[in-house]
Amino acid sequence: MKNPLNKRFIRELKEDWSKYLVIFLLMTGMIGLVSGFIVADESMIKAYNESFEKYTIEDGHFNVDKKLNNQSLINISKAGVRLYDHSYVEETLINGNKLRIFATPQSVNKVCVMKGRLPQNDKEIAIDRMYAVNNKLSIGDTIKSQNHSLKICGLVALPDYSALFENNSDTMFDAIKFGVAVVQPSLFNQWDTTHMTYSYSWLYTNKPKNEEKKSESFLKLLNKEVHLEEYIPQYENQAIHFTGDDMGSDGVMVRLLLYIMIVIIAFVFAVTMTNTIQKESNVIGTLLASGYTKKELISHYMTLPIIVTLISALIGNILGYTYFRTTMANLYYASYSLTTYQTVWSASAFIQTTIIPVILMFIINLFILNRQLSLSPLKFLRRDLKRHKQSHVMPLSTRIPFITRFRTRIILQNKAHYLVMFIGLMFANMILLFGLAMPDIINSYGTNIKQNMFADYQYILKVPASLQSSEKSFSNMIEAYTFTKGIETEEKTAEKFSAYSLKMEDNTLDTVTVYGVKKNSRYVSINDGVYVSSAYANKYHIHKGDVLHLKTEYTNKKYTLKVSGEYNYPGAIAIFMNQKKMNQLFDLDDDYFSGYFSKNPITDINEKYIGTTIDYDSLSKVSRQLNVSMGGMAYLLCGMAVIMFIVLIYLLTKTIIEKNAQSISMTKILGYTNHEVSSIYIVSTSIIVSLFILLTVPLDYAILKPIFEAMMKEEMAGWMPLTVSNLTFLKTIVIGFISYFIVMLIEYQKIKKIPMQDALKNVE
């Protein structure tokens, strides 16, 4: 026999359609976003992993000072590799940006055409899609350098440049001022060789089990055969592997946001069901007395929340695989030069956006309903739903005005509602604050870098790859002598320094650069001892007197250093000490140095001996790139927070008004106008919401700060502190009040619609 209680579902939906609609929309949107993120994430990762074979990505490459002859190519190939010419020219455009141009590859590092086509004549060029987007370039536009003017015929992705690192030693890629492109081989061969880099990619004929060992032996062979300028095996190539290492790292945070929201929505359902049970206590008492079990009633009251969750999950997943999948994929495309991808079915997306939300909703509602429906039928019939008799009502002084006492009673009667509201607002405000603070964090980082640079230019020298081998030969001795002479400069503002890279014993993400500076340095003013940069001190909470435990990356040789103080430098995780003492510490020659600090550009050192030039432009790559990559995410977070804010306040204030519908009707009978009634009920909630907004913003900042610091420690090399301006705090508060004002207008209309005859119903 059909359960007659089932007939009530349609009636309940009709009576409370707005509640179920907004919950449905919120859950559908959130599940759609998370589903879209997971699907896009897994599809992108799959496409990235498959790209190594699909586009024949190199196993490594090396640069030499001149084009290899046939005999050298044959000799090198005997090491079990296939060599491919992958030379390039670097062209400085009229806007100052740099473009690395290749002849269209045919056999290795093949090009993925994203839009348009590959060049078909000597007047065309296909450029990296991400560089084009960042510089507002389209197919048909013309790019110009001093000697060339080429028409863009296509937007492409080069799989060996999925992250646009100009140099492998750079801390951050730069897709704004640096790009890659391809041209017809016939045009490439006409190019001026002044800025030509002779680069050769290799593929192993048989994939080695230990790539590092194979790479070391291959390096020794190359040093015997050619004069190496750069040697980068694939596993050390940031332009290839940075993207793969970074993708998917945001997934934990996105999933956590979903589950927190589901828990809050579940409690909203629980609060509204508690009110429904109070309103229908007579009916419930009658049903229990008539033989219905508590289990049947729990099942009845849980049905609609579970159905709404399931439908939300179903439609959310459909949106996730269609609209939101594209939106989330575009966030990846805004950061990386990725190839095309195919959407893949994700079992984890189904589990995390359907199964887990339903389980959370079921458990929370089961707990609340089981507790609410455990009373006797007689108590339900008497509308006595209190578990413990209240010995007395909290007394309120008669000196307090009547309206104020009335409002206070309303607040005290709805403590559970306001508790859920507080938790929900705190969560929504935290997302909003973080979204609004993103520009502050990035811009403040850039400003601090500029204000605290200890030299306008840092030049870190690069030892030629031919000298990095332990192999000793006459040619190597000549090269060493040439290198030693070639790294001297006549620039008067130049000052030598030493540098050495170490790792922390308990952390593999950050590389610590130890700077050795001369006594009475004009650029880094320190006393004797060991000083940590402010970035190092702030990230790892290091203070004077602390002991640092460091090690070399590959040999694991350990060093212990006692901190003498902090040096104000936010640009890197670094240590500063006297140059002579540093050279002694690391068993280096007394006259050893790694580079130069300089106020002016150094122009008399050959470019091939300069590994990295650190100036404001290079240090600002991080902030410049993050502004581009994270802009879309900031808007998404802010929009999601505002919607959640409005929905939560709407649902809970709606429940409070419905709970007090009979009292509101009675006050209307007593002659109170709609405006006066609203001033009692809406102002009560307004006071609480205002307090919550003002309270949660500083509280959220206090919670967000350690979370952000922990995230930076795990996810990012270097240090970027959480910076929130007073204007951002003000924006968060103002957006909160505007959102509540919208809800207040809706609830005012609801109070106006409550008829006076409601007061005559359920009279006892």
Give 470's pLDDT tier (boundaries 50, 70, 90): very low
What is the residue-wise DSSP string for 207-271? --S-HHHHHHHHHHHHHHHS-EEEEEEGGG-HHHHHHHHHTTTTHHHHHHHHHHHHHHHHHHHHH
Tokens of 70: 């046939």
Q: Which of 154, 54, 204, 212 is nearest to 554 (CA)?
A: 212
Tokens of 643: 């919607």
What is the share, in percent, of the chain residues with pLDDT greater than 90?
24
Q: Give whole-number Cα distances, 367 to 374, 437, 668, in Å.
A: 11, 38, 38
Least confident of 79-88, 138-147, 649-658, 702-711: 649-658
The owner of tokens 């927070």 is: 641
The reported pTM is 0.76
Q: Facing residues of 701 across strands?
A: none
Tokens of 82: 């296939």
Q: Residue 1 above 50 pLDDT?
A: no
Q: CA-CA distance, 319 to 52, in Å (whole number)?
A: 31
Least confident of 150-154, 254-258, 312-316, 333-337: 254-258
More confident site: 476 or 686: 686
Domain map (residue ranges) of the chain: 1-53+245-388, 66-226, 406-454+617-764, 457-614
Tokens of 501: 């890279």
Q: Residue 464 above 60 pLDDT?
A: no
Give 477's pLDDT tier (boundaries 50, 70, 90): low
- Report the sign of the C-alpha dihedral through residues 153, 156, 160, 162, in that order: positive
More confident site: 611 or 317: 317
Give 161's pLDDT tier (boundaries 50, 70, 90): very high
Give 469's pLDDT tier (boundaries 50, 70, 90): very low
pLDDT at 508: 61
pLDDT at 486: 65
Q: Which of 426, 274, 403, 410 is nearest to 685 (CA)?
A: 410
Q: CA-CA distance, 528 to 519, in Å (whole number)?
A: 9
Q: CA-CA distance, 432 to 12, in Å (whole number)?
A: 34
Q: Give whole-number Cα distances, 266 to 255, 367, 523, in Å.
A: 16, 11, 59
- Asked whether 209 and 194 are in contact (CB, 8 A), the reply is no
Q: Work out the mean pLDDT of the chain and round it to a whole number.
A: 84
- Tens of pLDDT along 375-407? 888 887 877 776 555 555 666 666 777 777 877
Q: Which residues contact 425 (CB under 8 A, 6 or more apart)?
A: 645, 648, 649, 689, 692, 693, 696, 736
Q: Residue 467 above 50 pLDDT?
A: no
Tokens of 695: 């309270």
Mean pLDDT of 709-727: 81
Q: CA-CA distance, 701 to 720, in Å (whole number)?
A: 16
pLDDT at 390: 54
Burial group, residue 614, by CB count within 10 angstroms (0-12, 13-18, 19+) = buried
pLDDT at 468: 47
> Which of helix, strand or coil describes residue 690?
helix
Beta strand ranges found along 96-239 (DSSP E): 98-103, 112-116, 124-128, 142-144, 149-157, 178-183, 196-204, 228-233
Tokens of 392: 């007395």
Listed in sequence order, the DSSP H helices in 280-293 are: 281-289
Continuous segment of H or E residues that includes residue 502: strand 495-504
- Tens of pLDDT along 485-507? 667 888 889 898 888 888 888 76
Mean pLDDT of 70-98: 90
